[in-house]
Structures are given as C-alpha cells and as structure tokens.
C-alpha cells in the first residue's frame, strides 16, 4: 500500500476523489497508528499504518489506494498515568472524533469495550485487553449528494411551532409507513409522517439525539439500551440505528430526510450533547477521546487529575476551555449546517458548555465564539438552560440570539391547572412571553421556548393520569427520574374508564394544549401528546426502546378528538398575528382611542389590580389582546392587523360568569376555542359562563357596515 505524508487539515478521514487523507489531533501522544479493517466486527486489522507526520499536534497520512467504505480506527501510544490525567492505551482501538460514519455494534456484559468492574482502584493499572472486536468501526465516506434546489426554510421565530420527536419512536408503529422504513430517517420523511406534521401546523422538528451514541454498560447488562441517545460518541456521524441498512448508508438517508422535510417548509433542529461523552467516569470504557488525549478533551479535577469533573451526572464533562475541544464542537456544528443542511440546534445541558472553571459566565467563551461565527449565528440556537453543577439553573440568563427551554413556563402552567394557590402572577408572565425573564439585553418573546411536556418527564396523558412516577422498568427501583412533576391523576392512579375522571383528564389535556397554542413565545409539542400517548407513568423512559416509548397510532375516539383539537388551536395561532408577537407587550396605547396593547381582566370585566394578582385563591384570569396590538408586517412592510382576542382561563373548581369587555368598535364575540365544548358558537348577552377547570378563546368579529 502506498503511503504519503498527507495534510494536517481537515481533521478526520477525507476522500478527495483520488485517495483519503487521515488527520488526528493528539498533543500528548508519543505515537499514532491507523488501523484498517475489512469487517465491522473484525478483531484484527488488515493493516496498521504508523502516522509519522506530525504538524501542530495533528498526526496525518494520505493513502492514495483507500476508497470510500473503508473501515478504520486508531491506536494511540503515550503514558498511562491516571494521577497525571493521561490514559493512553494502545490495546484499545479508538474511534476518530471526526468520523462521518460509525458502524453499529453492540457489546455484551461487563467486558463491553473494556468496561471496568470490581475494585474502584482498577483504573490505576492499564487494561491490556484488546477492544477491536467489540468496538464499532469508523467508515470513510463519499459526501457527494444531489441536493437539487434545497433551501433552508428560515421560518421566522414568531411563526415557529416545534415538534420534539424521536426518529424511531415517532415512526416505528405507524401503519402507513412502509415496514422497511419504520424507525428510520426515511420513515420520518415518509408521506404519512409529513402529512401529520403539516396538518398539526408544525414548522420545525426537533430531533432527539441523532449523533452516533452508545449504550452505557450497566444498561447492556440489564438487557436495555440508551434509547434516547444522550450518550454521544460521534459528533459528525448520524446514528446507524436509524438507517435502513448498509455500511455508510446513514449519511445519504439523513440528507434525504432533510431534503424531504425542507421541500414542505419544515426545518430540522438537532438536539445535541456536547457537554459529555459515552466514555463515562474513570472506570468507563476507553472508546475515543480518553485514549486520544484525555487531558485535552475532558475537565479533570485540579486537585487530582485521575478524576473527572462532572457537571452532567454522566461521569465526565468535555473541556470547552481547551481550544481543540472547542474546535471539535464548532467544526461539528458547522458540518451539520453546511454539509447536512440542518437548521438549528438545541443544546443539552447548555450551562456545562459555558462553565469557566466552576462558574457559569453569561458571556462565556462558548457563546462569544458561536455568536461571531458567520454560519452558526444564522441558525436557530436553543439552550436547555440548566445542568447539575453549582448555579446550574440559568433560565433567562443566556445572551441575545439564543432561545431557551422555559422550565418556568412548564412548571407554572402545570401548577395553575392543578389548582395550586398563588399562581396567577406567574401565569400572566408566562402567557405574555415571560418578560420577567427575557427583556434583558434586547431579547424578544421568542427567546422563550414554551412547553408543558418534553421527552424528559411525563407525557401529557400521564401528566393528568399519575400523581407519582412509575419507573420500575428502568431497573433502578424507581429512584431515577424527577419526583416533583406537578401532576394530578384526578382521582385514580393510572388508566381509568370512570366517565367523570376521563372527562376531566381530556379537558385538562385540552387546557394545556390550548394555553400552549395561545401563549406568546415559541410553542413546543412533544411527539404523541396530540394522540394521547402514554408511557405508563414512566417519567424517565431513556432506556425503554419498546411500546413504553413508541407512539401508538391506533387511535380511539378520544385520541382522534384530541388530535383534531390540537390541529384546531394551532391553526388559530397561525391565523392571528396578535398571538405571535415579535416584541413584548408594553401596556401602552396602540390606537387613537387609548386602547392598550394588552389588558388583564377579572371576571367582572374590570382590569386586574395588584390585590387580584396576589390573591392566592384567585384562579381565574382574562387576557385581552386588541387587533391593533400586532407587530408583524407583510412583504411590503405594512402592519398585519389581527383580530381582537380574549383568552379566559378558569382553574377553580366551580364555573364562573365572565363579563365581556365593551369595545369601541362594533361587532360580536365568537367562541372559537373552548376546552369544555367542541363546537364554536356566537356569544349572546353581556358575558359567558366559564366552566370549572376550562379555557375559552373568544374572537371579536367586526361588524360590517
């Protein structure tokens, strides 16, 4: 085989049409070998090629005889001195951090990828077991793809409706998806799934992690897998679990999925996990970064570098203070935008990326670099604004240009509809865009990603069916998952056919969905909530790759009614610009007659007072938004006038009569959405009866002369 020196950039394995350049960063290694294989599960190499060229700590070689489809990995030599942070071990085959494709291989029991068990001091001695037979292999890929006229939809934030979903979970049980495509990228791009998304009004899918991931050894020992995928080991490689088959096929199929979604105006947002890797703590497997340059890639304890700093609860934290670790993340982010055409990111445990030693800096290095990047600054950036480190709850503290999962929105809406006292003041902020959190630094209402449910926690059906988590199937004696869910089973724990309980639960689900649709900010729907999906009370189904997690598309009458209601309220949102403002309400007049852009009302039709807001027993609220309170413009820059809307919410246990406000403009009020009734109707009289624990949206239709 011919061997040429090659180039230090780009990192990874790059096919140039004639051969392949291999480049790997390692500052502290003493030697690097490129290992070639002829089978994904091969235990022995067909060749070991020493990388003799080293430029700026990048080891490189060019092989003119290698072609796309070649399987490879690395062995890296260097000191094994855990007390100094070094864990080099040439017995371990290592994945290329820049691999574009990784094969799918599942190990077994306590030997999985060299996993350590037993004496916690075992990591002080080197483990000389060869891992090549167990470890997945990297694959050289040809990136050529016919994108045609593919263009990013670039949906404005104020028109965005996000649908959080799992590639397999959404598609695996859909009867309309061809069997061979179920659970795959191509299944997500199939006509039945796209039709469902469009009819819901979805403008963006937020895919749970699709970077290549591995299951933790303790899950494999239990016969489980990391179904969610928050255990990344390949930041450039689409997960092989979601491909139809064939080595390297996942890159092409992922691109086909993106192209199909873009063709109907749906954006693709990736949930990404740059805060930690699948290598776990010091007793975890050596798969990639640990064996390539442990000191460079990970946060190590300053007092004892044998141990990892863990802000994530997974055993390790990537060290974004290191320039090469930061480069890895930035190169990955740009790759998925430029090469794979994705439209944005949701960053898992984002504060872990911003930590400067033990502090979360609001203008940390990470955010500065992302914001100045000409590629990444143009896509949607969403933070999960908390981690497990000191001061890790950072809702509202991210810079301009970022949106955040608004955990306070979730908790306030749950507590309000559960009937908890003292929720009204918080509810006012959440319905109107959370200005208490996001006005600093010139941020907008769409900085708030509003959600009631997400992958982590109860589904909407379970939120109204269980008072307690039921995670026994996970194998941790129900100790995992959140204990406080602000849920209510409304009389019975779990499924019930009692008419009064079912009726209450269905109404409460409609309350949550309608409030989400009619709140200022960016709504996010959890996949299957519109269909009554249940996880049987499991609020941490990360390891349940089975019917607990998969969406059941076999709908009964209640499920179909819930689906139609969800479609209805989100259609109302898209038709009314006053529900999707780009700026916060000011409380100031927006017309010559002195009408303010937002008016809060109590049941007698009068404006709320401070006493009303702070009455712990007050559970009724009206939100009046005049049609003039729009700030959306058409293609000519003219304001798009909306309809005057009145949102009424009653979380109390009894019906309340709500006096309707008198408007200067003649017209009639029409009940366009009502969680206590299905059919809209014209309001007759001076007020409406607001049923206990219900929501109503009224639209003022101007009288034509």
What tens digit of pLDDT does each residue of 385-432 get? Answer: 988 888 888 899 898 999 999 999 999 999 999 999 999 999 999 999
- Residue 598, SS3 per DSSP: coil
Q: Torsion angle, CA of 89/93/94/95, rounded to 10 degrees?
A: 180
- pLDDT, residue 705, reads 47
Query: Omega of the bond prior to 55 within 30 degrees of 0, cis?
Result: no
Helices 407-418 and 499-518: crossing angle in degrees, nearest 10, is: 140
Task: Please state, rounded to an integer, the average pLDDT across all residues of the chain.
Answer: 94
Out of 96, 384, 597, 643, which one is annotated catalytic?
384
Q: In the numeric block, which tokens belong to residue 141?
A: 């890929």
pLDDT reported for residue 259: 98
| From 348, 404, 529, 597, active-site residue | 348
**Domains detected in the chain:** 12-139 (2.60.40.10), 578-702 (2.60.40.1180)
pLDDT digits (tens, 9 = 90+) for 594-612: 889 999 999 999 999 999 9
Strands 101-102 and 138-139: antiparallel
Residue appearing with tokens 């689409």: 238
Q: Quick one: angle between helices 407-418 and 424-431, nearest 10?
A: 130
Q: Where are the alpha helices (DSSP H) in 424-556?
A: 424-431, 435-438, 460-463, 499-518
Structure tokens at 340: 């794979």
Report DSSP letters for 655-698, one per residue: -EEEEPPPPSS-EEEEEEEETT-SS-EE--SSEEEE-TTEEEEE
| Residue 495 Cα to chain centre, angstroms | 28
Catalogue the long-range contacts made by 215-220 (C-beta closer than 8 Å, 24 or more residues apart). 215/106, 215/543, 216/278, 216/280, 217/107, 217/110, 217/112, 217/113, 217/115, 217/284, 217/285, 219/543, 220/106, 220/107, 220/108, 220/109, 220/112
Question: Quick one: which of 55, 52, 102 has its CA closest to 77?
Answer: 52
Q: What is the pLDDT of residues 307-325, one digit of tens each?
A: 999 999 999 999 998 999 9
Return the structure tokens found at 388: 């497990």
Question: How would you class 349 by CB atoms within 10 Å of its CB: exposed for 0-12, middle for 13-18, buried for 19 or more?
Answer: buried
Least confident of 40-54, 347-361, 559-573, 630-644: 347-361
Q: Is 45 a catalytic residue?
A: no
Q: List residues bridging with 450 in a β-sheet.
A: 523
Contact by Cβ (8 Å): 498, 427: no
Q: Tell me whether residue 221 is one of the annotated catalytic residues.
A: no
pLDDT in tens, 17-26: 999 999 999 9
Q: Quick check: 35 and 73 in contact, CB under 8 A?
A: yes
Going by pLDDT thresholds of 50, 70 and 90, the confidence category of residue 704 is low
Instruction: Note the maximum CA span of the chain.
Output: 89
């Amino acid at each position: 085989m011919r061997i040429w020196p090659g180039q230090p950039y780009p990192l990874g394995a790059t096919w140039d049409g004639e051969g392949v350049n291999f480049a790997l960063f390692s500052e502290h290694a003493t030697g690097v070998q490129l290992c070639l294989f002829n089978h994904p599960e091969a235990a022995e190499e067909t060749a070991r090629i020493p990388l003799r060229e080293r430029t700026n700590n990048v080891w490189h070689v060019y092989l003119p005889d290698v072609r796309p489809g070649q399987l490879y990995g690395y062995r890296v030599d260097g000191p094994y001195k855990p007390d100094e942070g070094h864990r080099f071990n040439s017995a371990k085959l290592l994945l290329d951090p820049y691999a574009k494709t990784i094969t799918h291989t599942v190990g077994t029991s306590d030997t999985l990828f060299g996993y350590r068990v037993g004496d916690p001091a075992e990591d002080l001695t080197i483990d000389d077991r060869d891992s090549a037979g167990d470890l997945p292999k990297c694959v050289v890929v040809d990136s050529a793809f016919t994108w045609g006229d593919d263009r990013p939809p670039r949906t404005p934030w104020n028109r965005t409706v996000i649908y959080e979903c799992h590639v397999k979970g959404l598609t695996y049980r859909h009867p309309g998806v061809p069997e061979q495509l179920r659970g795959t990228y191509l299944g997500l791009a199939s006509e039945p799934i796209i039709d469902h998304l469009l009819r819901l009004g979805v403008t963006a899918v937020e895919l749970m992690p699709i970077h290549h991931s591995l299951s933790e050894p303790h899950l494999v020992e239990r016969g489980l897998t990391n179904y969610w995928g928050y255990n990344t080991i390949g930041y450039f490689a689409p997960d092989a679990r979601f491909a139809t088959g064939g080595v390297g096929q996942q890159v092409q199929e992922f691109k086909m999925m993106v192209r199909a979604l873009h063709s109907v105006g749906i954006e693709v947002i990736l949930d990404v996990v740059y805060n930690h890797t699948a290598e776990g703590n010091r007793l975890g497997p050596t798969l990639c970064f640990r064996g390539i340059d442990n000191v460079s890639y990970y946060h190590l304890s300053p007092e004892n570098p044998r141990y990892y700093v863990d802000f994530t609860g997974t055993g390790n934290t990537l060290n974004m203070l290191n320039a090469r670790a930061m480069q890895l993340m930035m190169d990955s982010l740009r790759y998925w935008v430029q090469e794979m055409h994705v439209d944005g990111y949701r960053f898992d445990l984002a504060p872990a990326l911003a930590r400067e030693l033990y502090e979360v800096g609001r203008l940390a290095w990470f955010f500065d670099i992302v914001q100045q990047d000409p590629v990444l600054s143009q896509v949607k950036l969403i933070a999960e604004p908390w981690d497990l480190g000191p001061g890790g709850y950072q809702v509202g503290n991210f810079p301009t240009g970022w949106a955040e999962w608004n955990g306070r929105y979730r908790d306030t809406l749950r507590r309000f509809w559960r009937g908890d006292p003292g929720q009204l003041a918080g509810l006012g902020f959440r319905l109107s865009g959370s200005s208490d959190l996001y006005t600093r630094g010139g941020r907008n209402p769409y900085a708030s990603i509003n959600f009631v449910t997400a992958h982590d926690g109860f589904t909407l059906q379970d939120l109204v069916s269980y008072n307690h988590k039921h995670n026994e199937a996970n194998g941790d004696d129900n100790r995992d998952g959140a204990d406080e869910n602000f849920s209510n089973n409304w009389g019975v724990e779990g499924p019930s056919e009692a008419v009064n309980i079912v009726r209450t639960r269905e109404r409460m689900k409609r309350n949550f969905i309608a409030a989400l649709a009619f709140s200022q900010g960016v709504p996010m729907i959890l996949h299957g909530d519109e269909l009554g999906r249940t996880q049987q009370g499991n609020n941490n189904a990360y390891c349940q790759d089975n019917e607990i997690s998969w969406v059941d598309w076999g709908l009964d009458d209640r499920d179909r009614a819930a689906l139609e209601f969800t479609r209805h309220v989100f259609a109302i949102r898209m038709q009314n610009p006053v529900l999707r403002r780009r700026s916060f309400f000011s409380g100031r007049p927006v017309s010559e007659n002195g009408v303010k852009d937002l008016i809060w009302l109590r049941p007698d039709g009068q404006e709320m007072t401070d006493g009303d807001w702070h009455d712990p027993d007050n559970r009724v609220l009206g939100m009046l938004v005049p049609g003039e309170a729009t700030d959306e413009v058409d293609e000519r820059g003219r304001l798009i006038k909306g309809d005057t809307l009145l949102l009424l919410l009653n979380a109390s246990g009894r019906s309340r009569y709500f006096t309707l406000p008198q408007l200067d403009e003649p017209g009639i009020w029409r009940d366009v959405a009502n969680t206590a009734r299905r059919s809209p109707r014209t309001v007759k009289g001076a007020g409406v009866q607001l049923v206990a624990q219900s929501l109503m949206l009224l639209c003022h239709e101007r009288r034509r002369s």
